[in-house]
Amino acid sequence: MHLILLGAPGAGKGTQAKLLQKKYNIPQISTGEILRAEVKANSELGRVVKEIMEKGELVSDDIILKIIEHRIQQPDCQNGFILDGFPRTETQAEGLDMLLQKFPDIRLKAIEIALPEKDNIARLTGRRICSQCGKDYNLQLNPPPPDNRCTVCGGEIIQRDDDDVATVRHRLDVYHEQTQPLINYYGSRKKLYRVDGNQPVEAVFRDIEKILKNGVQLQK
């Protein structure tokens, strides 16, 4: 099972990727989480990408493709992976296709989680995450406990630096300009499926599972 989750920031890709990871025992590969860990560790890479991420811009395709090339060759990816937040540009999508040329049996499916823009903004500004394990919370839908400690690992629950209103708007603009063209990229290659992200988490998950089981392709 080799999946790409597409959709604007806040559409619920990370939440669904974590559910899929748990149920199917294949890893969620979130380039955003990998980069945030580098920033937190203050590594050389972290220092390069920190400011770019805080502004809501995209990190260079070269850096991202190197990360992915290394990550998808790890043993835990043998039975598949769930790409969350990658690819984000056409160059990245082409780079992924090149990397996967070595594996002709892999059938990529790109699933778009579609959500109206106003809902994206509300979700992102209300989003909170665990600073240790990355678990998602949301002030409206899934509020953090009163002591602000993660229910899974006890880590502190924080707001991401790039989830303030101005940066969120910019990230959505970047999405429309650079990432939305991927819908056509995968659509024209007959690899695109779509679910309605404007439903409860469990309903979105059920719709994704239907696609995995039946492969009913939803064309644009």
CB 182 to ligand AMP: min, Å: 11
Query: Could you say which of 7, 9, 134, 144 contacts ligand AMP (CB under 6 A)?
Result: 9
Q: Which amino acid type is present at position 171?
A: R
Range in contact with ligand AMP (rule: CB under 6 A) among 80-88, 95-103, 125-133, 197-205: 80-88
Region label for 190, one of left (φ > 0), alpha (ψ between -120 and 50) or beta (otherwise): left
The residue within the footprint of ligand AMP, chosen from 7, 27, 56, 95 (CB under 6 A), is 56
Nearer to ligand AMP, 57 or 119 (CB): 57
User: Tokens in use for 220?
Assistant: 């644009």
Q: Decide: 181 and 90 in contact? Cβ < 8 Å.
A: yes
- Do strands 157-158 and 108-114 pair parallel, antiparallel, or not at all (unpaired)? unpaired
Token digits of residue 168: 């969120």
Residue 58 in the binding site for ligand AMP (CB under 6 A): yes
Residue type present at position 139: L
Does the footprint of ligand AMP cover residue 48 (CB under 6 A)? no
12 counts as binding ligand AMP under rule CB under 6 A: no
Q: Any idea what DSSP says for residue 89?
A: S
Q: Among 3, 6, 8, 86, which residue sits at the site for ligand AMP (rule: CB under 6 A)?
A: 86
- Per-residue tokens: 190: 């007959």
Residues that bind ligand AMP (CB under 6 A): 9, 31-32, 35, 52-53, 56-59, 64, 85-86, 88, 92, 162, 171
